[in-house]
Chains A and B, each alone.
Chain A
Amino acid sequence: MSAKPVSAMRDVSSILPLTIDDACFEAGGRRLVVGARFTVPAGGLTVLLGPNGAGKSLTLRLCHGLLTPSAGSIRWAAQSGSAKRHAMVFQKPIMLRRSVAANVAHALAAAGIARAERVGRTQEALARFGLGGRADQPARLLSGGEQQRLAIARAWSLRPELLFLDEPTSQLDPAATRQIEELLAGLVAEGITVMMSTHDLGQAKRLADRVLFLHRGRLVEDADAQTFFAGPASAEARAFLAGELIW
C-alpha cells in the first residue's frame, strides 16, 4: 500500500486545474455567490478568506459539487471517472454512528473500493493520522479534535487530488487547532492540493500559499498570500485585515 496517494493517481490525467467561470448561486431569490471566477491549479494551499456570510462555504460546496451553480460553470481538467478525486471535510465533523474504522471503511465502500482493499486502506489512514489505537471505538465518542482528524483521515483515504475543508478548526480549542494545521501542512507537502475556508486571519497567515478574499458573495481579491498580507488591493480586504468587522 503506497503512502503517496497522489502519485498513485497520476497514472490517470489530473483533474486539476479546476476552473470556476462566472459561477453564481441563488437561494430564495437572493444571490449568495456572484460571478465567481478563478482557477485552482495543482499544488499548494488556497485559503478562502472573508467575514461570516461572505459566501466561502457556498463557494467550496459549488466546487465540490454539493451545490449546482445557478449560472456559470465549474470545470475539471479531466473527467474523474466513477470515483471523484476530490473530497471534503466539514465545519462540524459528520461522524457516522459506527466505529472509527467503520467510518473510514464506509467512505471507501461508497467510492467502490473492494472489500479486501478497504481493510488495508483504513488501517493506513488511521495510522497516518494517529488514530490507529482508536479503530474500534465509537466515532461519536471521540473528542472534537479527534473527530475532525478522523474526518480528514476519512477524506484522505479516498486519495483525493484536491481536498476541500470548510472552517475545519472553528469549533476546536487552540491545541486541537494547531494539530489540524500541522496535518494540513503535511497534506500539502505530500502533494495534495488543499482549498479551505476560514475567517481566522492568523490561520490564513500561517497556512495560505494563496488567498481568495470574498465579500458579500463576490470574489474581491485573488492574490498569493505574501502579496495579500503585505498590502491588499481592495478597501474591503484592508478593512478586514485591520480588524474592522465588515459584513
Chain B
Amino acid sequence: MDLTAIFQAAFALVVGLDPAFLAIVSLSLRVTLSAVLIAGLIGLPLGAALALARFRGRSVVIVILNALMGLPPVVAGLIVFLMLSRSGPLGSLGLLFTPTAMIVAQVLLVLPIVIALTRQTVEDLWAEYRDHLRSVGLEGMRAIPTLLFDGRFALATALLAGFGRASAEVGAVLIVGGNIAGYTRTMTTTITLETSKGDLPLALGLGLVLITLTLAINAVAFGASRIGARYAG
C-alpha cells in the first residue's frame, strides 16, 4: 500500500460521485449535524442557566459535566443501545439500528461539551456584563438570551468542538446503528468496515474525504465568525 493508492482511492470516491458513497457522506453529515443542532438547542440554554444559577451541588454538577466531555463513545453507544433495544425500556419505539438512534447517541456525546463550554463562556461574559444587565433589569434567567447572543462566536467554537467529536467517532454509531449498508452506514463505520476487509487504501481514502469535509466545515465556520467578530467587535 502506498500513498498514491490512498489518494487515488480518495480521488476516485470524490470524482466518481458513486451514489453509495454520496449516501454515506450525506448520512454522516445528517446524523452529525442533527446531533449538534439538537445538542445546541438543549445545551446552550442549559449551559447558560448553569452559568447563572446558584444552587447546592453546583460545583459537583460542573465537575461531572466536565468529566462527561471525555465520555467514551462506546459507553454512550452502549447506554443508548440498552435503552433502545427491544428488550430495553424504550424498545417499543423500534429505534435501534436507525439513524435516529445514532443521532441520540451522538447527542449524548456532544451535549456535555456544549453545556460545559457554554457555561464557561457565559460565566465569563456575565462577569463582564453583570452590572449593566442588572441595571437594565435583565436579572437571572432573563439575561440568558443576551449572553448567548453576545457569546455567539465563542459558542460557535463550542458547537464546532461538538461537531468534531461527533463526526470523528465510530464506537457509538456502530453499536446503535449497526452499520447497515445503505441505511446506517456512515463514513467512520465504513472506514472500520473497509479496514476489517483489509482494503486499507479505500479506508484511508475515506478518511481523507472525512478530514477534508471536517476541514471545510471548520474553515467556513471560522471565516464566518471572523467576519462576524469584525462587525460585532
Are A and B in direct contact (Cβ within 8 Å)? yes
Q: Which residues of A contact B (CB under 8 A)?
A: 64, 66, 83-84, 87-88, 90, 94-99, 106-107, 110-111, 138-141, 158
Flag if B132 contacts A90 (CB, 8 Å).
yes
Flag if A64 contacts B135 (CB, 8 Å).
yes
Tell me whether A97 and B233 are in contact in the complex, defined as CB-CB below 8 angstroms, given that A84-B137, A110-B138 are known contacts. Answer: yes
Known: A95-B233, A98-B150, A138-B233. 5 other contacts (CB 8 A): A94-B131, A96-B129, A111-B136, A138-B230, A138-B232
A-B contacts, 22 of them at CB < 8 A, read A64-B135, A66-B131, A66-B134, A66-B135, A88-B131, A90-B131, A90-B132, A94-B131, A95-B233, A96-B132, A97-B233, A98-B150, A99-B231, A106-B146, A107-B136, A110-B136, A110-B137, A110-B138, A140-B232, A140-B233, A141-B233, A158-B136
- What 0/1 readout, one digit per residue, does chain B (202-233) give for beta carbons within 8 Å of chain A? 00000000000000000000000000001111
Residue of A nearest to B228 (CB): A97
Residue of B nearest to A98 (CB): B232
CB-defined contacts of B231 to chain A, threshold 8 Å: 99, 138
CB-defined contacts of B135 to chain A, threshold 8 Å: 64, 66, 87-88
Q: Is B2 located at the chain interface by the 8 A CB criterion?
A: no
5 A-B pairs closest in CB distance: A138-B233, A140-B233, A94-B132, A110-B136, A97-B150
CB-defined contacts of A64 to chain B, threshold 8 Å: 135
How near does chain A come to B222, taking the closest CB pair, in angstroms?
Answer: 17
CB-defined contacts of A99 to chain B, threshold 8 Å: 231-232
Residue of A nearest to B132 (CB): A94
CB-defined contacts of A107 to chain B, threshold 8 Å: 136
A83 to B230, CA, bound (A): 33
CB-defined contacts of B131 to chain A, threshold 8 Å: 66, 88, 90, 94
